[in-house]
Amino acid sequence: MKDPNFLKKYQNYHDKNIALIGHMGSGKSTIGKLIAKKLKLRYLDSDQLIEKNTNKTIYEIFKSDGETKFRTIEESTILSLKNKKNLVLSLGGGSIISAKVRQLLNKNYITLFLDIDLSILVKRLKYSNKRPLIAGQDIETKIKELDIFRRKYYLLADIILKEYDNPSETLINFLIKYKKLNEKNY
Ligand code: S3P
């Protein structure tokens, strides 16, 4: 950016937390960390919190307790953050299927949906071995199936961004939309 102060003004706009939603592999943690750094907010990741609280990996929880139990833990972990402020929170791809999570997001968060082309996700996820939902599955079929069910919830986001050439470009585009949104709200 030409003007070094350009981004400073965004630092006041954090009366609401920011949450990143979208499919696995969409870049939520990469972009979330960049946003947190730029806006001087704390970064948290729901999967990491779950792993810390349960002392198990997500993979182990799915394997030993099953998806339903994982969703219960995921929901309560996210809801436990309801009084936290100054947060950028990256959410597991399936967390928005919980109505209670959506309610919390609606109230306390500005949400960003990273709407990445499914074909790009499939390429990225080919090499992932820590995601139980796609393990041993045809990734393209699985992602399409998840998308059919989840897209309507992802589309509720305040800000929707497509794929950009690199994460810093995504960050800039987020900040522009974030600023507009805040101007509209005040
Ligand atoms: C899941 C996404 C994962 C993780 C779990 C289930 C999903 O998180 O919560 O494997 O249902 O889409 P990421 O979206 O951070 O990969």
Shortest-distance atom of ligand 1 to CA 146? 12
Q: Which stretch of DSSP H or E encloses residue 93? A: none
pLDDT attached to residue 181? 87
- DSSP one-letter string for 145-160: HHHHHHHHHHTT-SEE
* Residues with Cβ within 8 Å of residue 180, at least 6 apart in sequence: none
Distance CA 186, CA 18 (A): 17
pLDDT attached to residue 14? 53
pLDDT attached to residue 128? 84
Distance CA 40, CA 111 (A): 17
**Binding site membership of 59 for ligand 1 (Cβ less than 6 Å):** no
Nearest CA to ligand 1 atom 10: 131
pLDDT average per 10 residues of sequence, the chain (186 residues): 46 75 97 97 98 96 97 98 95 98 95 97 89 92 97 98 93 95 73
Distance CA 150, CA 134 (A): 15
